[in-house]
Amino acid sequence: MDELAIPKLIEPLQLRAVTLRNRIGMSPMCTHSALDGIPQPWHLVHYGARAVGGCGLILAEATAVEPRGRIAAADCGLWTNQQVGAWREITRFVKAQGCVPGVQLNHAGRKGSMHTPYTGSGPLGDAGGWTLVGPSPVPYDEGWPVPEELSTEDLSAIANAWGDAARRARAAEFEVLEIQLGHGFLLNQFLSPLANQREDEFGGSLENRMRFPLMVAQQVRIEWPDELPLLVRVTATDWADNGWSVDDTVVLAGKLKDLGVDMLDVSSGGIVPLGDKAASITQAQPSYQLNAANQIRREGEIPTAAVGMICEPQQAQDIIANNQADLVLLGRQLLREPHWPLKAADFLSYQMDWPVPYQRAKPQ
């Protein structure tokens, strides 16, 4: 490779008024380490290390828009102004490293009130749990609580909570916002016929099932500054019979684009427990969601981020160079290697800027 050529993976990416220094981002991953929704010093070190390590974008973990929207009790939040200051300390450090700070807003719906992975599995129940809500009184799995069906008034209030959280995210100096519309959480529950059995204007047809998620996206875009990009994480497919499909996602992509969404972060699954077909797909194949990201990018005519078992520099480079996605998001690989972007650039024969205190370790 020509030493002067910038690999496609390392090229900057412009999203509205925000420029990512490269096409490598950190995918949102819950750490379940907050206190009353407030991020702790752990989060500063956790996200700061990946910013130092060369990421162009960091998307902070699923952050609840209201207390009952948490996945687990120790989730981060942006439902009160008291949570803003701790986030601001993190965003300022991330930006000082040349990285763009982003955050994913979420409401867990019927998949909330769970044990953290460190304390158990499944729902908390009477051991400190809270009431779950959803589009219909359909539990996530056997043994899970039946969620309360949300009224139209409830939906308006929750959409407003998303807008309020978006406004707080800006006060916390985030520069990218992502709506969690996948992984079986509340907005995905409305989209999927496996969870949404309503007979009103929010259920039934594809148009009706999209209505509430689009209402939320519209409310967030109103509150989020025009000059800053808005991303949406989608479940491209439920990996289940009679569920949400990639073709459905293409239709949704057009609607979201019309509302001012700038990029879809394409994931999959989550509406039903992993098993059979889903487990075999998600556990065995690198880039197993890439075909969906590519199809949505082409047919939905919207930029996409690819995520899912992207671990090797050449793999990531090929995704961008072949125009299969516009951004790659790494999850567990960045937990293993916080400085993976620097390693990837070196592999691709390109020298990214290293942090000044680490210059002595820079490859020659």
Domains belonging to the chain, first-starting first, are 8-354 (3.20.20.70)
Mean of pLDDT over the chain: 95
**Residue 118, pLDDT score:** 87
pLDDT confidence of 309, banded at 50, 70, 90? very high
Four-CA torsion 323, 299, 271, 167, nearest 10 degrees: 80
pLDDT(92) > 90: yes
Q: Please enumerate in sequence order all residues whose Cβ is within 8 A of that of 162, keeping only pairs 6 or more positions apart, or say none.
A: 65, 105, 107, 179, 216, 219, 220
In this predicted structure, the answer to whether residue 6 has a pLDDT above a threshold of 90 is: yes
Q: Please say if the pLDDT value at position 283 is more than 60.
A: no
* Confidence tier at 278 by pLDDT (50, 70, 90): low
Mean pLDDT of 158-183: 98
- pLDDT bucket at 280, cuts 50 / 70 / 90: low
For tokens 């491209």, name the residue.
236
- Report residue 12 CA to chain centroid gap: 21
Q: Which of the residue ranges 162-171, 276-285, 351-360 would you say has the lowest mean pLDDT?
A: 276-285
pLDDT digits (tens, 9 = 90+) for 26-37: 999 999 999 999
Residue 234 falls in which region: left (phi positive, over 0), alpha (psi -120 to 50) or beta: beta
Residue 216 has pLDDT above 60, yes or no: yes
Q: Is pLDDT above 80 for 277?
A: no
**pLDDT tens column, 65-88:** 999 999 999 999 999 999 999 999
* Region of residue 305 (phi > 0: left; psi between -120 and 50: alpha; otherwise: beta): beta
The whole-angstrom separation of Cα 282 and Cα 299 is 24
Contact residues for 118 (Cβ-Cβ < 8 A; gap 6+): 32
pLDDT at 364: 76
Q: Please, are residues 29 and 331 in contact by the beta-carbon 8 Å criterion?
A: yes
Mean of pLDDT values over 40-51: 98
**What confidence category does residue 119 fall into, taking pLDDT thresholds of 50, 70 and 90?**
confident
pLDDT confidence of residue 1: 44
Q: Are 300 and 250 in contact (CB under 8 A)?
A: yes
- Average pLDDT rounded to a whole number, residues 32-46: 98
Closest CA to 212 of 303, 137, 109, 78: 109
Contacts of 44 (CB under 8 A, 6+ apart): 89, 90, 93
pLDDT tens-digit series, residues 131-167: 999 999 999 999 999 999 999 999 999 999 999 999 9
Q: pLDDT value at position 34?
A: 98
